[in-house]
Amino acid sequence: MAKAKKAKKTKRIRRSRKQVRVAFVGAGGRARRVHYPSLAANPDAKIVAVSDLDEERLQTVTEEYGIPGRYTDYKQMIEKEKPDVVYAIMSPQYLYDVAATVLEMVRNLVVEKPPAINSEQTRQLAILARKNKALTGVTFQRRYCPVVRRGKALCEKRGPVHSAGSTFYKHAVGGSPYSRGAIDILSVDAVHAVDTLRY
């Protein structure tokens, strides 16, 4: 009897599950290298539309991933496509207005780190998300890497971690400024070292 109830419950969950409709604002290098491939490989997600100001990049990404919706105006894209979630992947100095608009249009939002140029912008985005009951996410991948998880688990076999260090090496010597100097390295890339250390 218990097995029959469990099987019935599982069937109901499977029937109610739907693909998440995803729209992208941004077809740049970071989005194309990381976000598009991972979502395209996820059977629970469907990329329905992309918006980018660069029409060549827009054409390339929509053809590569077979994405039907192609827009140069992200607001028009959101109004027409009504996605479940919007990925806004762009340099941080351009992100705030786009992210705030997406939240005001009552859409769930995923952004790259950092979520804004400063803590006040981040606070304002959090206020907008709460007001519009939107789910939000900032992509931090390093703490979820199997090698990091496994390493931490091996250390914890001997007891709780009592001291740890984390270092960031990319662009350590002679690198050009991030976003043409609009933001510092710690807020953009090196924050992965901070997040990993927090984990």
| Per-residue model confidence as pLDDT tens digits over 144-177 | 889 989 999 999 999 999 998 888 877 555 667 7
Say what the pLDDT of residue 179 is: 75
Q: How far apart are CA 134 and CA 85, in angstroms?
A: 9
Which amino acid belongs to residue 163?
Answer: S
Q: Note the pTM of the prediction, 2 decimals.
A: 0.79
User: How large is the average pLDDT for residues 30-51?
Assistant: 94
Q: What stretch of H or E contains 40?
A: helix 36-40
Q: Are 71 and 62 in contact (CB under 8 A)?
A: no
Structure confidence at residue 53 as a pLDDT band (50, 70, 90): very high
